[in-house]
Structure 1
């Protein structure tokens, strides 16, 4: 598996940079990009092969060479729910999907709530990782005093919900729940002292709770009832409050899975005032609407819920103007047994969908449709994530960076077939099933080693390495 000990030359491809596309060859040695040679009529591949004696040459003719995706938001269910996902199957899905680094949320059993549980989780997942990974810490009302120690252990960021623990939530949800202003402000001050990013699930606990109770009292059990219990107003109110309180605390705030035009506008205004605010969008909110997905019932149940076309348009506009900084999947797999409970009663089904193997092909399809350019795409899935989370060796095809890259065929078409995916619970990946894509990941390399090719996993568990923040720019 992987590159020659003497290096790797990726020849003949077109390299996607954050601002332009160039005809260039890559030279890789010891897992790093040591040179990026524009061809300009010269045979730079031959020059590189001569420079790296004995190097393996990869023919990338007709392909795009892009930085691998940094997925800022995954739930790989490990430890705790191996019937839904494991770190090995989740990172296998990542490799096939063109994701070279995953940032794992602090959910699981036990939840990540202090330094000891952070180290325990790392001990569990490290031998299983096929791609590189970072681990979030949890920041809630029950563990505000344990935030700093998680940063010292290596937490890449902190995750918090502006919701109280729901009935049936995994134990430890209180270590990432900040449902009131006092606890939120205290946690933001603690996170600010670490320099890490506070990643917030922003939905108003009181609005959502009140509306859900009204829906249940009236006998509503359909998917739309769930969506109407978490309206755009609930997100906008929470985003506005988070911006205010995080600003007062001096914390670096990032809004997870932003889903409404109103919330995007709140972030846009905060950025214009110079506040340290960033935002993430997810593929299900970019490519699916509630109306178009309603027939899927519980398989389209997500928090925040799918929206309608006007909000989808606003999200794409936010990506275009940089208000939305990066894209993460919020890959949160459940089984068909979990989801099927919601056909009769939507409230009994969990919220979450698969996304690791669909996100890059979906976004390449959007490029082919003219919704964004390849340089814009590499900024949204790679560069900005590396900057926000401080992953200084990741996120860009440049000299000195880790050789994390994907080979992309912009003309290859295909249909998403969950049965061929790698998640344990792939049968439940119905939201994306049957969707036509134009643009495919041909191969994925992590630190110069090939980990997937043409839909097949070539990487080995344990190859993936832990990443920690180191000098990121807000």
Structure 2
């Protein structure tokens, strides 16, 4: 018989401003009590409550991954919503926000509803669905928001020749189309999440590299230099500000762009920024031996930019962390060994992000309260997910149990992604800190590296 509630007892509970010795009571999928150890047990704790022993563990809000591409529908050999959300559950991610890529692309209310029908029966964790905002569907932005789009995604570049059909519905290749889309998004009140790299700079430099016969990973990185990001970020800030849109810079990767965001925030602009774990933990020079398996947009940077990202995370200039989980298969990636331009850009991240960040906690890079703000609280605030993101009474009981002392090595062969064999960027990385259990709305969905939930349990979340 199903328990009427859960008492998670004996652990250290991570709040956005402190860590407390407390017990957590869960009833009907919600947090109903947070009691300092030694306090009086609330009257609604009865014999029917299941006791979960969290002694020597840390209790945190589950991660809200603001940026995933689960390839569903369209590319099931790379990922499906079932494999992707099961990977999320194992990794300590309790909500995923899915980008509008796929076949068909999400471009209007009809395609948004179709995607939801496809993915809903497969979801192990809760999820939100982005809408697409491009130069060909600006007049369809409002209907996507009305359908329930959690935010809108746009690229500041034209579709690549090998892009999936429908990329134009999230491409804003010129200032006029960008401004028009920002104005339309501003009316909805949703967030405009932008991939900010200068199309003209990147295109020109890529052509130069190809003319020189360069086909290596570094050539790809040099075709997308820090300047290309800084210029696009500055332009996006200017145009979104003029439109009155709530702008968020996706996967910020350079110190110069962080400074642009810091300045604009100081002027009072409605602006946020996301950073990805691969930009926090990997550099180009340390990853060159991986060739196409380290190819991502924006590219991996150098030590100076990595330090600037950590500093921006520490002072709140960077608001939240998203993985940009964009899986490809070895067959996709291997094309790039002889010609980097032939390989797609994207890396895995769902099962590696939380252990990597817990390791950073143990190394003194970031505190537990600052971490929970970055992976949970701020994401919930920015995307309007009011019932999530924090361990407080009345919130959804989306939480993870963490063993800060457990050491491990990231091994893609044991992961749950459909294309785990291509998750080579993180392979062999030593970690200290592990997710031992994941709960979504009070239900155990993963424990000790095994999925315990069921597909279809995950629910759609809307702002």
Give TM class, smaller chain: over 0.9
Q: Which residue of structure 2 aligns with residue 23 of structure 1?
A: 21
* Aligned pair partner of 1:118 in 88, 112, 118: 112
1:435 matches 2:429:
yes
What do the CA deviations read for 1:404-440 (whole angstroms, capped 9, x no partner)?
0000000000000000000000000000000000000
Q: Any stretches of 5+ residues in structure 1 without a counterpart?
A: 470-474
Structure-1 separation of matches of 2:33 and 2:45 = 11
Whole-angstrom CA distance in 2 between matches of 1:25 and 1:163: 49
Take 2:46 and 2:113, find their aligned partners in 1: how far apart are those partners?
39
Aligned to 1:279: 273
TM-score normalized with structure 1 length: 0.97
> CA separation in 2, counterparts of 1:433 and 1:225?
24
Q: Deviations over 1:235-283 (max 9, x none)?
A: 0000000000000000000000000000000000000000001000000
Does residue 129 in structure 1 map to residue 127 in structure 2? no
1: CA distance, partners of 2:47 / 2:254: 53
Q: What are the residue-to-residue correspondences of 1:180-329 with 2, within 5 Å?
A: 180-329=174-323
Comparing 445-454 with 51-60, greater Cα deviation is found at 51-60
C-alpha separation between the residues in 1 aligned to 2:136 and 2:351? 35
**Is the Cα–Cα contact under 8 Å of residues 49 and 57 in structure 1 kept in the other structure?**
no
Task: Give the aligned partner of residue 9 of structure 1.
Answer: 7
Aligned residues: 463
Q: Distance between the aligned counterparts of 1:398 and 1:418, measured in 2?
A: 34
Q: Quick one: which of 419, 424, 427 aligns to 1:425? A: 419
| Consecutive unaligned residues in structure 2, runs of 5 or more | none
Summarize deviations over 1:21-62 as a string: whole Å, max 9, x none. Answer: 0011111111000111111x34x5xx2586244011100000
Residue aligning to 2:62? 68
Matches of 1:200 and 1:358, distance apart in 2: 24
2:398 matched residue in structure 1: 404
Q: Select the residue among 44, 65, 75 that pairs with 1:81.
A: 75
Q: How far apart are 1:189 and its partner, in Å?
A: 0.2
SS of aligned partner of 2:280:
helix
2:74 aligned counterpart, secondary structure:
coil
Match of 1:32 in 2: 30
| CA distance in 2: counterparts of 1:69 and 1:213, whole angstroms | 39
Indicate conservation of the 8 Å contact 1:9/1:48, yes or no: no
Matches for 1:370-381 after TM superposition, within 5 Å: 370-381=364-375
Alpha-carbon spacing, 1:365–1:380, altered in 2? closer, same or farther (3 Å): same
Instruction: For 1:371 and 1:188, locate their aligned partners in 2 and report how far apart those are by CA, in whole Å.
Output: 36
Distance 1:96 1:418 in 2: 13
Aligned to 1:472: none
Q: How does 1:127-206 map to 2 (within 5 A)?
A: 127-206=121-200
Q: Residues 102-157 of structure 1, C-alpha deviation per residue, up to 9 Å, x if partnerless?
A: 00000000000000000000000000000000000000000000000000000000
> What are the within-5 Å matches in structure 2 for residues 324-363 of structure 1?
324-363=318-357
What SS class does the counterpart of residue 33 from structure 2 fall into? strand
1:6 CA drift (Å): 1.0
Question: Deviation at 1:312?
Answer: 0.1
**1:57 & 1:125 partners in 2: Cα distance?**
33
Superposition RMSD on alpha carbons, in Å? 0.9
TM-score norm. by structure 2 comes to 0.99
